[in-house]
Amino acid sequence: MITKEAAEKLLGIEIKNLDLYISACTHRSYLNEHRSFPLPHNERLEFLGDAVLELAATEHLYTTYPYSEGELTNFRSALVNYKMLSEIANRLGLEQFLQMSRGEAKDTGRARQVILANAIEAVIGAIYIDRGFAVAADFIAREVLVELPNIISTGQYVDPKSRLQEIIQEKRGVTPTYGVVSETGPDHNKVFVVAAYVQSQEAGRGSGPSKQEAEIAAAENALQNMGVMS
C-alpha cells in the first residue's frame, strides 16, 4: 500500500488526502479478496482522471500546435492510449503500489497494461480532487505531455493500419488485407489472432480481445518485420 512519503516522491507533489491515492492504486479485483478494505476501488477516480487528462492534453495541443482538428485528435489519441499511459506508469514506478487480486497480479500482458493505464488516470483524478486542476495539469505536463515531441517526430500518431497501407500502396501498389487465423476463449474473454496479408503473402500476425485490436497488432508486427517499427 502506498504511503504519503512514497506518493509525494512518486508524483512530485505535496498531498493532503492519502486515501485518494490509495484508492487510485486499488483495482476492483483487490476488493473481492479483501472485503473489509475500507476504501473504494479506482474506477470512479479513473473516470474523472480521464476527463482531466483529456482537457489538459487538448488545451496544450490547441495552444502549442497550429494543426488541423483531425491532426490534433490523432496526436491526442496517440498520447492517451493505454499503451502509452502504461509506459508512463511503468516509468514512474506506479506498478509497485498497485493493489490487485492474486490472479490479476500474475497477468503480465495486455490486461496489465490496461490496469496500469487506468491507474495513472485514477491518480490524475486523485490529484485533481486533492490539489485542483492547476496541480493536476502541471503533473500531466511533466509526466505525460513530455512524450508528445517524440510521438510526433516518429509518426506514432499514425495508426499502424494506415501506416502499413500507405507504405504498401507506395511500394507495391496494392492494399493490405486482414484475415482471422483463430478465435478462442469464451464470449466475454475472446482472443483473436489475425494475419496481415500483402497479395496473399502473410506480412505480420497479431492478437487481441477484438478483431480490430488484433488487426492493429498484425499491422504493427508487419511494420516491425519491414524494419519500419522497432
Q: What average pLDDT score do residues 223-227 get?
A: 90
Does 108 score more than 80 pLDDT?
no
Q: What is the DSSP string of 116-139?
A: HHHHHHHHHHHHHHHH-HHHHHHH
User: Does the residue 43 lie in any domain?
Assistant: yes
Range of the domain at 176: 160-225
Q: Which among 93, 98, 142, 146 has a CA at the least distance from the CA of 122?
A: 98
Instruction: Exactly one of 19, 43, 46, 50 is catalytic; name it.
Output: 50
| pTM score, whole prediction | 0.77
Residue 230 pLDDT grade (very low, low, confident, very high; cuts 50, 70, 90): very low
Residues 148, 39 within the same domain: yes
Residues 144, 186 within the same domain: no
Residues 104, 12 within the same domain: yes
Does 229 score more than 70 pLDDT?
no
Q: Which of 101, 134, 153 is the last residue of a domain?
A: 153
Which three three-digit cell numbers place residue 32? 473481492
Residues 137, 183 within the same domain: no
User: Does the residue 94 lie in any domain?
Assistant: yes
Residues 29, 101 within the same domain: yes
Residues 45, 125 within the same domain: yes
- What pLDDT, on the 0 to 100 scale, is given for residue 38? 95
Which three three-digit cell numbers place residue 31? 476488493
Residues 49, 136 within the same domain: yes
- What pLDDT, on the 0 to 100 scale, is given for residue 110? 74
User: Does the residue 230 lie in any domain?
Assistant: no
Q: Any catalytic annotation for residue 50?
A: yes
- What pLDDT, on the 0 to 100 scale, is given for residue 60? 96
pLDDT 10s digits, 63-102: 999 999 988 988 998 899 888 999 999 999 999 999 998 8
Looking at this protein, which amino acid is placed at residue 80? V
pLDDT 10s digits, 148-190: 999 888 877 878 888 899 899 989 999 999 999 999 988 777 8
Residues 131, 179 within the same domain: no
In the 3-class helix/strand/coil scheme, how is 182-212 assigned residue by residue? EEECCHHHCEEEEEEEECCEEEEEEEECCHH
We report the CATH number of the domain holding residue 199 as 3.30.160.20
Residues 11, 99 within the same domain: yes
- As for how many domains the chain has, the answer is 2
Residue 47 pLDDT grade (very low, low, confident, very high; cuts 50, 70, 90): very high
For residue 152, the tally of other CB atoms under 10 A from its CB is 17
Residues 189, 148 within the same domain: no
- What pLDDT, on the 0 to 100 scale, is given for residue 159? 81
Q: Any catalytic annotation for residue 202?
A: no
pLDDT 10s digits, 180-219: 999 998 877 788 999 999 998 999 999 988 888 899 899 9
Q: What average pLDDT score do residues 39-51 get?
A: 97
Residues 126, 80 within the same domain: yes
Does 58 score more than 80 pLDDT?
yes
Q: Which of 119, 153, 187 is the last residue of a domain?
A: 153
Rounded CA gap, 3 and 22, in Å?
8
pLDDT 10s digits, 3-27: 999 999 999 999 999 999 999 999 9
User: Does the residue 110 lie in any domain?
Assistant: yes
Q: Which of 129, 153, 177 is the last residue of a domain?
A: 153
We report the CATH number of the domain holding residue 125 as 1.10.1520.10
Instruction: Exactly one of 5, 46, 69, 121 is catalytic; name it.
Output: 121
Residues 192, 168 within the same domain: yes
